[in-house]
Amino acid sequence: MPGNSLSALYSRLLLTALLLPLAPCGFAQDMIERFGERPYTGRVDFKVAPPSGKPVTHYGRGSVLLERSAPGKAVLQLRGKVPDSTTQTELTIPGTYDDAGWRSEPDDVQMSIAADGRVSGGGVSDGRTFLFSGTFSPAEVRLEVRVTMAREEGGAPAGTTLTFDYRVKRESLEAQAGQDVEDGCRLVMRPIANFGGGMTMAQVPECD
């Protein structure tokens, strides 16, 4: 019966079409699985550009870690240090994630990681202007954090721009299995100051 067969086919297609919107997307989970839970480690360049004069660049090591803190929530941790010096940076940004990506909690400074890995955001906080750009992939992160100071800080004149250029990578789960130390970095528990204030305990990469 060709007519009945065609009618049954249409019925099955219609049922499938109705059920598709009800199926869980699962991309929110994939967001953390693809870009989170394991640290990216590698090179961080620190560039200091005063409003007049020659910029100076220091080369260091650091890490980027996007770690789940609760259902639908994850903390982004950025760390960097120049060996044998006091030059270092540490930034912890709490946020939320869903199928559209990850974004920082509402604050004067906003940052987001889209589902495809694109990084964007910025804002002004405590006299500092922030600008975020870059990309995440499962294997590497290219991230630039640019901070322009509205007033003198630490001997740097007002108008100085600090640029932190992260070029960090991570190996596959198979390659990392059983390894506590990689490229001079290891995971340790430490109290971390949140971007909006307060403290929390978190597992963070510590790099030599």
What percent of the chain is modeled with pLDDT above 70? 68
Three-point CA angle 58, 95, 153, nearest 5°: 35
Domain covering 31-171 in this structure, CATH number: 2.40.128.20
The pLDDT mean for the chain works out to 79
* pLDDT(176) > 90: no
pLDDT at 13: 38
pLDDT tens per residue across span 105-141: 999 999 999 999 999 999 999 999 999 999 999 999 9
User: Global pTM?
Assistant: 0.71
pLDDT at 23: 36
The span from the CA of 41 to the CA of 68, in Å, is 18
* pLDDT(62) > 90: yes
pLDDT higher at 171 or 65: 65
Query: In the structure, what pLDDT confidence band is assigned to residue 155 with cuts at 50, 70 and 90?
Result: confident
Least confident piece of the model among 34-38, 104-108, 163-167, 188-192: 188-192
* pLDDT(187) > 50: yes
Mean pLDDT, range 49-78, rounded to an integer = 94
